[in-house]
Chain A
Amino acid sequence: MSEAQGASLAKDAWIRLRSNRMALVSLIILAIIVSFSFIGPFFCEYKYDEQNLDEQFLGPNQQHWFGTDSLGRDLFARTSYGGRISLAVGFLATTVSLLIGVSYGMVAGYVGGKTDAILMRIVDILYSLPFTIFVILLMVLFGRNFLLLFLAIGAVEWLTMARITRAQTLNLKRAEFIEAARALGFSHSRILFHHILPNLLGPIIVYATLTVPAVMLLEAALSFLGLGVQAPMASWGSLIKEGAEKMDVAPWLITFPGIFFCLSLFCLNFIGDGLRDALDPKSSKD
């Protein structure tokens, strides 16, 4: 006997996302870039920090597919390694901002009243701060610490997440099923985690997808200023910096990391747009 299956939100969204050609292409390209970053090193006989002073500034050739840099390091290996760092920072720092922003916003929206007013006022004030300056200051003063990088970037990016979560929670709180849950005597934490949080997932996922490129951009900017990851480690940002300095003699040094970086941002933005249309049909663009 076959049972009629109701389409779940996830399934529904996937069908809609699949029909969005740009988003689908972006998803495939991004998958290729991610696998290049994580399994690329296995196809390359050089290590990212392996110097070979006889082979400085070689253009792309059969041995070195992407050429070599000023210390004779293989750019294919370095771009792949840098991708791992950039993507990892992007996703982990987004997770940090997600954890802070969602819990903050949920509390503000759910408790409401004076607490809400105070909490959101704090967000408003923080919004108006020159936060990037603080991130730069933090990185300069306390050295290029990787953990600090996550925390600093996450601390900047949680504000919008908190606003979105709070607005959604505020709407949900008045929904009948929440009232029903309360009438049944469920505890606040149960209502928050079992009833409100699952309904927040859509907008959270959409915004998180759009936060990842923003975070990657910030990390790359810090690395470009020489404040991000430290040599011989590399991220796409620091590779672009090296490339920009040696642009006249070795243009491939900026080309390859630049293409990978811009393409990733491009794909993530398209996927984010696609997810918004898929998960929240009401707000879809024309």
Chain B
Amino acid sequence: MRTFFISRLLQAIPTLFVIATLTFFMTRFAPGGPFDSDKAIPDEIKIKLQSHFGLNLPLFDQYLLYMKNLLAGDLGPSFKYVGWDVSELISLAFPVSLSLGISALLIALLIGLPAGMLAALRKNTLWDYLPMGIAMVGVCLPSFVLGPILIMVFATELKWLPALGWYSWTDLILPSLTLGLFYAAYVARLTRAGMLETLKQDYIRTARAKGASPSRVILRHAIRGGLLPVVTYLGPAFAGLVSGSFIIESIFFIPGLGKFFVTAAFNRDYTVVLGTVLFYATLIIILNLFVDFLQAWLDPKAREQQ
């Protein structure tokens, strides 16, 4: 078990290295540069700016320099936000995205798990068809359609909630619903399938034969196996929540890291783009590791394989 996690952690290092290299050269080979659009800047100042940020060095030297700083944990200064370090910018914008992601995940699990369990336990009744029908619609309703609909209903018509911006906690409700409902639908489908599969197993029959009460059979015995597909899905879901937040942040005008990243890429703010990509990659790698851990805890078979 321990060796598995250590080897996984060690694998993260070359992965991050490849990502950094790839992103570095991708941004540099793209047309345009950070100081191109500012036509008002005289040429001599532009050249000074470029030499200040080391952009006049040969490309490979720039790469080596960046990697050297990276090893020291320094993501460098932003080209566009003068006087700001990339890590400062990330620490400013990320908490916004994080609170959005966490509340969306909570919504997904709090709605999806019970709905899926209910459907599996009341198979082929109204309690199965109704939530599963809604879940099917939910899976096919992308956030950029759902978001505007929710704004129209709850903000424009009913005036219960604010539509746009990021000022108080009520601003969190509509965005996290928009982001979370899709995953709730998916989680519900996975939970149902997982529970149905588990309830057919021999060990459930054994538990029943021993005279365990129905609720004990479900809560003690079935739930572990039944939740496995959901846990496996959590890995891709984390990555999906991250990229989903890009869209949500642009629908609801939320100053999170996603919106920030797209702007930085448009501005050719090389260091910010690189820093954000690396930050997200690290985050996703850590979350995946966490998912592996959960999986091993729930499933004895996976534990042995590892």
Contact = CB atoms under 8 A, between A and B. Distances in A.
B66 interface: no
A9 interface: no
A133 interface: yes
Given A137-B27, A262-B140, A262-B142, 17 more contacts: A125-B15, A127-B236, A128-B288, A129-B281, A130-B243, A132-B246, A133-B242, A133-B280, A134-B23, A134-B277, A136-B262, A140-B262, A221-B142, A262-B141, A265-B140, A270-B136, A285-B196
Interface string A175-188: 00000000000000
Nearest to B22: A134
B156 interface: yes
Nearest to B139: A269
A236 to B, nearest CB: 10
Interface in B248-268: 250-251, 261-262, 265-266
8 closest A-B pairs by beta carbon, nearest first, are A141-B30, A132-B243, A140-B265, A244-B148, A265-B140, A266-B140, A224-B144, A130-B280
Interface in B119-143: 123-124, 136-137, 139-142
15 contacts: A128-B284, A129-B281, A130-B281, A213-B140, A217-B142, A220-B142, A224-B250, A243-B148, A247-B148, A247-B151, A265-B142, A269-B136, A270-B136, A286-B123, A286-B124
B273 interface: yes
Interface string B1-28: 0000000000100010001000100110
A136 B265 contact: yes
B265 A240 contact: no
B285 interface: yes
A133 B261 contact: yes
A30 to B, nearest CB: 13
Interface in A132-151: 132-134, 136-138, 140-143
A263 to B, nearest CB: 8
Contacts of B30: 141-142
Chain A contact residues, majority secondary structure:
helix
A281 interface: no
A250 B243 CA distance: 29
Nearest to B251: A244
Contact residue range for chain B? 35 or more
Nearest to B265: A140
A141 B265 CA distance: 7
A240 B144 contact: yes
Contacts of A240: 144-145
Interface in B215-243: 235-236, 239-240, 242-243
Contacts of A131: 239
Contact of B145 (A128, A262, A266, A285): A262
Contacts of B148: 243-244, 247, 254
A241 interface: yes
Given A128-B285, A128-B288, A142-B31, A133 B144 contact: no
Interface of A: 125, 127-134, 136-138, 140-143, 213, 217, 220-221, 224-225, 237, 240-241, 243-244, 247-248, 251, 254, 258, 261-262, 265-266, 269-270, 285-286
B193 interface: yes
A268 to B, nearest CB: 9
B246 A129 contact: no
A251 B152 contact: yes
B266 A140 contact: yes
B23 A286 contact: no
Contact of A221 (B15, B23, B26, B144): B144
Contacts of B156: 247-248
B293 to A, nearest CB: 14
Contacts of B124: 286
Contacts, number: 111
B145 A129 contact: no
A251 B23 CA distance: 40
Contacts of B19: 129
Contacts of B101: none
B145 A141 contact: no
Contacts of A143: 31
A150 B104 CA distance: 30
B175 interface: no
A225 B250 contact: yes
Contacts of B31: 141-143
Contacts of B112: none
Given A137-B273, A262-B140, A225 B261 contact: no
A250 to B, nearest CB: 12
A115 to B, nearest CB: 19
B90 interface: no
Contact of B144 (A127, A128, A138, A220): A220
Nearest to A125: B15
Nearest to B283: A130
A254 B142 contact: no
Contacts of A261: 142, 145
Nearest to B243: A132
Contacts of A247: 148, 151-152, 156
A130 B284 contact: yes
Contacts of B144: 220-221, 224, 237, 240-241, 244
A180 to B, nearest CB: 32
B141 A136 contact: no
